[in-house]
Amino acid sequence: MFLLTFRILLLSYILYVFAINVYGANEELITNVTDSTPKDTRTTGGYQESKPNRPSHMELTSGLLKDSANIGGLFSIRTFRDGKCQRDIDPSGLQKMYAMVYMIEKINEDPDFLSNITLGFHIHDYCGDVNEAVASSMDFIMSAKDCSNNENLSDVKAVVGPMHSDSALSVASLLSLFKVPEISPFVTSTDLSDERYNYFLRNVPSDDAQIIAMADIVQHFGWSSVAVLSTDDLGYGVKGSELLSVELQARNICVAYQTRFNAAYTDFDFLDMITNLRNMSNIRVLVTISDDKSILRLLDVFRQNELYGYTWVASEGWAWSPTLAEDRYYKVVQGMLGVSVPSFNDPNFKEYLKRLKPSSDDPFLTQYWEHTHNCSLETLSDVSMCTGNESFSDDDPLLSEALVSPIMDSVKVIAYGLQECNSSEPKQLLRCLKNVSFINENDYRISFKPNGDLATGARYDIINLQPSNGFQPIFPPKLIGSWTENGGLEINKSAIFCTSRDGNCEQNWKDSSDGDINPPKSFCSADCDFGSRKHTIWDNLCCWECIPCSNTEYTNTTNALECNKCNYDEIANSSKNGCNKLRPHYFTPKYNNIALITCIVIVIGIAGTVLILIFFIVKRRSTVVHLSCGKLFKFPLLTSIICCFAFVSFLLSPVSSFSCLLSATILFLPIVACETILLFICFTHKRDSKKAKRYNTWIFFIILSSYTSCVAVGYIVKKPELAKDPDYVRDILVIGCEMNAAISCYSMATVFVLLLDVVGITIAYRTRTTEGNFNEAKFIFYTFIAHTMLWVAFMLVKVLTSDDINRTHLTSAFGMIGSASVFLACMFFPKLNAYKRKPEARILVGNKRGWKFRRKTKENTSESLIEDSSNTKQNLIDNLNKTIEALNNETMQARRVISLCKDQQRDLRQRFSHSESEILNKLYIIRNAKAELFFSSNYMKTTKC
């Protein structure tokens, strides 16, 4: 459908142009027959040469040969800018055109070749522009001698060219429509292998082989990332770059940057390309698919921006361009590696070029002659006249060795086809052309597949652009290797000339120190070693940043995409390619200095409490000691305080599952015991103390049962277990008991302690003024207040440090120490101070208990016992007598005292009307008032605990 539409549109355009130019075309045909020296009929380019007869020298004319086999030629001779052809002559294009003329002359001069046919030519310049190429092809078609003959509309038997794929696609469509065979010596686009271009042939391999050869070069030198630059023409640059990208990616070679351009690009159009290449400073290899005209524009931009030191991998479209040897380009492109079809050097061709002379029938050579020799062939000119005897110097670009052998082979293919073909019918000629098979001067067989592609296995020369011994650019490039479809790539690395970022490279790819070959490196980002991962940037898989893995991650492969995580109790090793176990760390004096300080505080606390206990035992008969803490509870309270200090050791020792379970159960028991004792003291000092004592057992049982129930609930909700907190900074695994759960044995025990504090505050406050409590309830009230404030503060700290096991253990340990210190300070320090300051606190009270000792003076014999017994009786009698005598004396004295006291008794009964029981009660009140006076003194008042 596409082909049909294209043919309809193209035929309409041809008919339109034919209607406009029919008159001029008829005049051209008449002139071709009657005038031996006609003028050029096209002003936009092109000239025609002919040879009137075989033996004579070929004369350049502007007409087609009569009764001859004419070959059309399409070459890009002049430059194309601003939408039109310019006067600037490209010596490379001019050389290619003369290669065709030279081979036609050479065949015509051979008496054994085409003896019955004389070859002529009809050459046009299309300036590298697609539209010009199509218009020139229409001239070939419209040069028919007999338009009524639909089978053979063209006097041109076949066409050589064009040189560019985009032009070849359009020309091939047109010539296939009018059945004119076409053979191209340079076009490699794979699109032309399609059956719709059935009249197209080529004697060079297609892009499929070229792309593989270029990819092999990149792979051979180990370049991991490259940039691909191509022209934006669909047939060659776009299609070729797509095939190249696929081929490189299949070899795990990354295309870090890819862009397209053309010869008409301005400096602004190249701005993004220059910026991106500068950002990717490690990309040093540029793989390019371009024609020679477009690449020169790109090289100009590189030169202007001083982008040197790149290794260019050139396609066959520009690898052999002689312009690369110019100083302005060579500094940019030095060291280029390129693929090229095999070429042979015909020494006679260079001599042929030297013999060329300007002619009015050859506008291309005329313009080049005038430009090269700085003269003019016209009389009206500001410069000197050309004599016509000037000659080209040996270093003239026109005489430089160029890739022209494929053009000569194309002319040979047409000649062999005409020789074997007996009919001038286009289909027959096409069949004959596809059957041609010969070996060229380069020992390469030229034959064709049914679709017009080259049937022989593809072969390329690998070339390197390098200077001579004087470090001046030379041409042609040096042959350093080859690539064949069956044999692959062979390159002599030591012969390759290197590149330099400053544009002044003077050595090969050879390190003089050890002789190793060191190709330049090309990568967008360096490989990510062990312990790091790749993070792509710029949305480009070739460019990445190496992100270091954390202390708990590792990678054991290069360029890993993700870091592997270690177990929670492991840390990455020093090489970051594996994991090591963390060292166990407990909250003990061995591992932690704070734990050591805590142990010292515990020892000091226990020692101080023991000293107070000893003091209370020794001074138990003193008033302040005898009456403190309800007489009975001082020693149990001191013992519980010692247990508070001692039980902290559960938190400062290496823990296990069993120790965590044990500590969760009994850790807070000493605190509960202290609070329970304080409650007992409050109840004991009430007036009805005997009744209160009966309930002490029940209170103790209720408190113990409640505590056990709370711990059990915490155990059911959250079983006490080990907690392991890795510290990857210090490479340790902190091991402790899990104490941070919202509902656990520890949290429930803490809540229970706070509830007891609230109960104790309430009871102590209510009994603070009870008579007979000796202000003990006030001390208990202060104790419970301080204890509550302490544990509220510690709970807040514990919540804030819940993520750290060491801090949780430390908080709990100091909570226990703080509780013991509060009980000790609020209940016993005031009593010690009173004992020191108040003499009445040191008064002895209570029964004195001692020990009696007997000293044995005599042996317990029977004689001694009898003697002792008699002596004892006598002594008793004497003592009784003395006693009776003393009693008699005392009786007499008592009678005198009684008589005296009767008068006083009478007075006393009048003053005091109280009964004997009231007097005794007052005496009891006086004794108690004396004790209250002691406890309410300034030395016994407590303002802060």
Identify the bridge partners of residue 80 per DSSP, sorted by sequence position: 85
Bridge partners, residue 148, by sequence: none
What does the angle CA 225 – CA 226 – CA 229 come to, to the nearest 5 degrees? 155
DSSP per residue, 137-150: HHHHHHT-S-TT-T
Q: Helices (H), strands (E): how many in the chain?
A: 25, 27
The conformation of residue 573, written as its DSSP 8-state character, comes to -
Q: Does residue 516 carry a pLDDT above 70?
A: no
Residue that wins the pLDDT comparison between 41 and 528: 528
> What band does 511 get if pLDDT is binned at 50, 70 and 90?
very low
Residue 158, CA distances (Å) to 70, 262, 424, 552 in order? 8, 30, 11, 74
What's the one-letter identity of residue 221? F
Task: Tell me the DSSP string of 806-844.
Answer: HHHHHHHHHHHHHHHHHHHHHHTHHHHHHHHH-GGGG-B
> How high is the pLDDT of residue 526?
83
**pLDDT at residue 150 greater than cutoff 80:** no
Q: Are strands 69-75 and 119-125 parallel, antiparallel or unpaired?
A: parallel
Alpha-carbon torsion, ordered 464, 469, 475, 478, to 10 deg: -30
Band the pLDDT of 794: cuts 50, 70, 90. confident
Per-residue confidence (pLDDT) for residue 627, from 0 to 100 = 74
Evaluate if residue 819 carries a pLDDT over 60. Answer: yes
Q: 689-717 and 745-766 helices cross at what angle (nearest 10)?
A: 160
For residues 533 and 511, give the distance between their C-alpha atoms in angstroms, rounded to a whole number.
33
Is pLDDT above 70 for 222?
A: yes
HEC sequence for 314-341: ECCCCCCCHHHHCHHHHHHHCCCEEEEC
199 alpha carbon, distance to own chain's centre: 55
How many CA atoms lie within 13 Å of 256's alpha carbon, on the beta-carbon side?
28
Report whether pLDDT(295) > 80. Answer: yes
Q: 660: number of CA atoms within 13 Å, CB side?
A: 21
Residue pLDDT, tens place only, 161-196: 898 888 899 999 999 988 899 999 988 888 888 888
pLDDT single digits (tens) 886-937: 777 777 777 767 767 676 666 666 665 555 566 666 666 776 676 666 566 5
Distance of CA 69 to the CA centre of its chain: 68
Which residues sit opposite 722 in a β-bridge?
Answer: 737
Reply yes or no on whether the pLDDT at 942 is more than 50. no
Dihedral, CA atoms, 898, 899, 901, 904, nearest 10 degrees?
A: 160
Lowest mean pLDDT among 461-465, 566-570, 723-727, 880-884: 880-884
pLDDT in tens, 543-565: 888 899 988 899 988 888 899 99
| 412 has a pLDDT exceeding 80 | yes
CA angle 511, 517, 523 (to 5 degrees): 105
- pLDDT for 698 equals 77
Amino acid 16: pLDDT:
43
**Is 156 or 58 the better-scoring residue by pLDDT?**
156
Closest CA to 440 of 343, 352, 370: 343
Which range (325-329, 507-511, 727-731, 811-815) has the least confidence? Answer: 507-511
For residue 287, what pLDDT is reported? Answer: 96
| Token code pair at residue 262 | 């053309």
- Tokens standing for residue 462: 């690998």
H/E stretch holding 88: strand 84-89
Q: Does residue 507 surpass a pLDDT of 60?
A: no
Q: What is the mean pLDDT of the chain?
A: 78
**Residues 90-121 pLDDT 10s:** 888 899 999 999 999 999 888 888 777 888 88
Range scoring the smallest mean pLDDT among 248-252, 614-618, 746-750, 881-885: 881-885
* Alpha-carbon gap, residue 882 to 829, rounded angstroms: 56
Q: pLDDT band for position 383 (50/70/90)?
A: confident
Between 861 and 75, whose confidence is greater? 75
Rounded to an integer, the average pLDDT of 337-346 is 87
SS (H, E, C) 6-73: HHHHHHHHHHHHHHHHHHHHHHHHHHHHHCCCCCCCCCCCCEEEECCCCCCCCECCCCCCCCCEEEEE
Q: Residue 244 has which token pair?
A: 């190249």
pTM of the complete model beyond 0.85: no
CA–CA dist 778, 941 (Å, integer): 9
Q: Which residues contact 617 (CB under 8 A, 6 or more apart)?
A: 635
For residue 54, pLDDT over 50 is answered with no
* Phi and psi at residue 179, to the nearest 5°: 60, 50
Mean pLDDT value across residues 659-671: 86
What is the percent of the chain where pLDDT is above 70? 78
Q: In this structure, what DSSP letter does residue 774 have?
A: T
Q: Is the pLDDT of residue 945 over 50?
A: no
> 584 vs 351, 425, 727, 733, CA distance in Å?
91, 96, 10, 5
For range 801-818, the mean pLDDT: 82
Q: Which residues pair with 548 in a beta bridge?
A: 532
Percent pLDDT > 90 in the chain is: 20
Q: With cut-offs at 50, 70 and 90, classify the pLDDT of residue 738.
A: confident
User: 517 vs 941, which has greater pLDDT?
Assistant: 517
The residue that leads in pLDDT, 697 or 342, is 342
| Contact (Cβ atoms closer than 8 angstroms) between residue 41 and residue 28 | yes
Mean pLDDT highest for which of 29-38, 419-428, 641-650, 770-779? 641-650
Cα radius of gyration rounded to whole Å, the chain: 60
Residues listed for the chain: 945
598-633 per-position pLDDT tens digit: 899 999 999 999 999 998 888 888 877 877 776 678
* pLDDT score of 774: 54
**Got the DSSP string for 540-559?**
EEEEEEEEEP-TTEE--STT
Note the pLDDT of residue 678: 87
Kind and range of the H or E element at 79? strand 78-81
Query: Residues 6 or more apart from 778 whose CB is under 8 A from it?
Result: 764, 768, 942
795, burial (CB in 10 Å: exposed 0-12, middle 13-18, buried 19+): middle
| Strand ranges inside 421-563, DSSP E | 438-439, 445-446, 459-464, 478-484, 488-491, 532-537, 540-548, 553-554
